[in-house]
Chain A
């Protein structure tokens, strides 16, 4: 009880000091929570990518920025739409079970942006309107329901259905015939990617990729295995640095809280001497310092977790193109660990404070 009594009194007097300590802890915790949330999401996205692309080989223009491509930001790089036939008529065709040509583009539409995906599949003929399949988000942006019509790039479309889940997880996409997409995007004769399917049983996938690249100049063949391997490597590197980052972060917390506690111990020497004189034990004094530091640390941990929300959202949007939030399960560990590290950091100054000679400090005028 007396510790709380002293703490509340001291907090009223030195609130700015406590706020500074808690703010420093909050910044570190926010950085760590954000990092952890983004790392975890990156790991998930690797699995999702592997699941989404299956055993396909992706053939894209050599200049394509793959991270932007997977973040669904498509550039103007193109392959000629004659390449599927080139492959079909070549000697690599025996290894390829399917070829799907696609043209991608980002288009502003309705209340937001949609991804136009042109596919050379068997689409039904509808007369005046072009057929389309929409992801739920794209349907919302265009304000259209299944069976409804809408206009995109000056062309009329009929929404055959709203796909849930949408193909390849493209919730914001409008899937349409390749020729229609070329017209909407103003890119006649162009493709963004070819997806080659097969079992790659009788040929090494890297060899096949090399053959394809020779066959279609200006293209890059990306195997799923290679992509996943590269992305897993990135995630593993991030995780390796996570340990260093966490240790550094908590060292910063310890340094800040330890310095504040040391400064308090110096400035409150007379008050501490008095507490000893009126019967506070050295252990209790050390406990009081640890408690004060732990409270500041815990508050910093909670605020840090809350601060991580906008940071995670921002980073998730810019790095992974997906809305992220700090996991609720990290709140207690963040606050608890920050409190523990803060209390630990206060122990050395607390021990010094507890060993003060009260007969000296109480007689100083």
Chain B
């Protein structure tokens, strides 16, 4: 379902020269998989994730989502693809502080062209699914960090994306809350949601269906290691 072909991403280094964030990464992720991407800080995990979601244009190589080659699309079409096919979850949640939980979750639906009523109905359903209905009128500052991440996951899910891309979703959480978030991701995966999660926590990564290791922008093992959750 997601095919990454020989993906390379090079940045200009501040002091001159180049930094190779990704160096020819190739990867295949099937529908319904839960893949953890692990590696040290600076190994290119997040760059790979953002590139898969159409946010980081690669220097070379391709990303294919379903039948669509993501970077063959122009910026407007890639934005449209992100609206419906991809859901992002972030380490720092990135909730809009002046919107309520319901409004935060409804935002991508509004962007996708839903009416306000349709968007809030969809957001309410997602919040209910995540056990957050009671908090729907609260603003992010009134929530615990675990709850904020649930809202972040809800926002990623509201348009029913093909793939949920989570960038260190437990990075700001205590171990118990992190476990709860990974439990939630596993539940969603159990319902058929394809998930790619970047993490540096090997313990949590072990709960995914497959681990992909990155080192200095390249895959560390080939073929990737399969683990049992």
Q: How far is the CB of B141 from chain A (nearest CB, A)?
A: 12
Given A2-B107, A280-B79, does the pair A359, B88 have CB atoms closer than 8 Å?
Answer: no
The answer to whether A277 and B88 have CB atoms under 8 Å apart is yes
Known: A2-B107, A274-B94, A275-B111. 18 other contacts (CB 8 A): A1-B115, A2-B111, A5-B103, A5-B110, A13-B97, A271-B96, A277-B90, A278-B111, A279-B84, A279-B108, A280-B79, A284-B79, A359-B47, A359-B56, A362-B90, A362-B167, A363-B91, A364-B92
Q: Which residues of B contact A1 (CB under 8 A)?
A: 110, 115-116
Given A1-B110, A363-B46, A363-B167, does the pair A281, B91 have CB atoms closer than 8 Å?
Answer: no
A273-304 residues with Cβ-Cβ distance < 8 A to B are: 273-284
B79-115 residues with Cβ-Cβ distance < 8 A to A are: 79-84, 88, 90-92, 94, 96-99, 103, 107-108, 110-112, 115
Q: Does chain B have a CB within 8 A of A111? A: no
A-B contacts, 21 of them at CB < 8 A, read: A1-B110, A1-B116, A6-B107, A9-B96, A10-B98, A270-B94, A271-B94, A271-B96, A275-B107, A276-B79, A277-B88, A277-B90, A277-B94, A278-B108, A279-B79, A279-B84, A279-B108, A281-B80, A282-B75, A359-B50, A365-B92
Considering residues A13, A277, A281, which has the most beta carbons from chain B within 10 angstroms of its beta carbon? Answer: A277
Q: Which residues of B contact A282 (CB under 8 A)?
A: 75-76, 79
The answer to whether A279 and B111 have CB atoms under 8 Å apart is yes
Closest to A1 in B: B110
Q: Which residues of B contact A277 (CB under 8 A)?
A: 53, 55, 82, 88, 90, 94
Q: How far is the CB of A271 from chain B (nearest CB, A)?
A: 6
Binary interface encoding of chain B residues 157-190 relative to chain A, with 1 for a CB under 8 A from any of its CBs, else 0: 0000000000100001000000000000000000
Q: How far is the CB of A47 from chain B (nearest CB, A)?
A: 56
The docked-state distance in angstroms from the alpha carbon of A6 to that of B103 is 10
Closest to B97 in A: A13
Interface of A is mostly: helix
Q: Does chain B have a CB within 8 A of A12? A: yes
Q: Which residues of A contact B207 (CB under 8 A)?
A: none
Q: Does chain A have a CB within 8 A of B155? A: yes
Question: How many residues of chain A are within 8 Å of chain B by beta carbon?
Answer: 28
Closest to B87 in A: A278
The answer to whether A280 and B111 have CB atoms under 8 Å apart is yes
Q: How far is the CB of A87 from chain B (nearest CB, A)?
A: 81
Q: Does chain B have a CB within 8 A of A336? A: no
Q: How far is the CB of A291 from chain B (nearest CB, A)?
A: 15
The answer to whether A279 and B103 have CB atoms under 8 Å apart is no
Q: Which residues of B contact A273 (CB under 8 A)?
A: 94
The answer to whether A278 and B83 have CB atoms under 8 Å apart is yes
The docked-state distance in angstroms from the alpha carbon of A283 to that of B50 is 20
Q: Which residues of A contact B111 (CB under 8 A)?
A: 2, 275, 278-280
Closest to B80 in A: A279
A197-246 residues with Cβ-Cβ distance < 8 A to B are: none
8 tightest CB-CB pairs across the interface, nearest first? A279-B83, A2-B110, A281-B79, A13-B98, A279-B82, A278-B108, A359-B50, A9-B98
Q: Which residues of B contact A166 (CB under 8 A)?
A: none
The docked-state distance in angstroms from the alpha carbon of A1 to that of B53 is 24
Q: How far is the CB of B168 from chain A (nearest CB, A)?
A: 9
The docked-state distance in angstroms from the alpha carbon of A273 to that of B83 is 14
The answer to whether A274 and B96 have CB atoms under 8 Å apart is yes
The docked-state distance in angstroms from the alpha carbon of A277 to that of B54 is 9
Q: Does chain B have a CB within 8 A of A358? A: yes
Binary interface encoding of chain A residues 5-31 relative to chain B, with 1 for a CB under 8 A from any of its CBs, else 0: 110011011000000000000000000
The docked-state distance in angstroms from the alpha carbon of A170 to that of B81 is 74
Q: Which residues of A contact B97 (CB under 8 A)?
A: 13
Closest to A365 in B: B92
Considering residues A273, A278, A364, which has the most beta carbons from chain B within 10 angstroms of its beta carbon? Answer: A278
Q: Which residues of B contact A278 (CB under 8 A)?
A: 82-83, 88, 107-108, 111, 155
Q: How far is the CB of A272 from chain B (nearest CB, A)?
A: 11
Q: Which residues of A contact B82 (CB under 8 A)?
A: 277-279
Q: Which residues of A contact B83 (CB under 8 A)?
A: 278-279
Closest to A9 in B: B98
Q: How far is the CB of B133 from chain A (nearest CB, A)?
A: 21
Q: How far is the CB of B162 from chain A (nearest CB, A)?
A: 13
Q: How far is the CB of B59 from chain A (nearest CB, A)?
A: 14
Q: Which residues of B contact A365 (CB under 8 A)?
A: 91-92, 172
